[in-house]
């Protein structure tokens, strides 16, 4: 079964990137307000580009990499920049480094509790 990553042009000239097995039906979900929070706030206008990948793992990796791109790079990718596309596809065998975890601030009561135990 093929897996896809897609890029949508949304209201406000924004680009949304997502994962789906059936891009056309997922696009309809977004259009009718049953998709992601982002597409409820910025309704999609059209599908800019889609990438077919061999498995779900690679598709989710591709989606993550696209979401990390700067807006100008996303525009280039949506417009068919083959060098950027190939660079992303070549990197799919590698995992991304984990996100740095934000340290949560503890309340005075939590600090006191941890000192007791």
pLDDT at site 116: 65
| Start-to-end CA span in the chain (Å) | 52
List the pLDDT tens digit at each of the 117 positions of the chain: 899 999 999 999 999 999 999 999 999 999 998 888 999 999 999 999 999 999 999 999 999 999 999 999 999 999 999 999 999 999 998 876 676 777 776 666 666 666 665
Nearest to 66 by CA among 25, 24, 6: 6
Q: How many helices (H) and strands (E) does the chain have?
A: 6, 3
pTM: 0.79
Asked whether the beta carbons of 28 and 47 are under 8 A apart, the reply is no
- Is 3-97 in CATH node 3.40.1440? yes
List residues bridging with 42 in a β-sheet: none
């Amino acid at each position: 079964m093929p897996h896809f990553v897609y890029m949508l042009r949304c209201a406000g000239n924004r680009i949304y990137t997502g994962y789906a097995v059936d891009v056309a039906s997922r696009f309809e979900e977004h259009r009718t307000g049953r998709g992601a929070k982002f597409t409820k706030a910025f309704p999609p206008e059209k599908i800019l580009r889609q990438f077919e990948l061999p498995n779900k793992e690679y598709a989710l990796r591709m989606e993550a990499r696209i979401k990390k791109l700067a807006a100008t790079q996303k525009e280039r990718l949506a417009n068919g920049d083959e060098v950027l596309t190939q660079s992303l596809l070549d990197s799919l065998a590698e995992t991304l480094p984990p996100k740095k975890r934000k340290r949560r601030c503890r309340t005075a009561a939590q600090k006191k509790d941890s000192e007791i135990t």
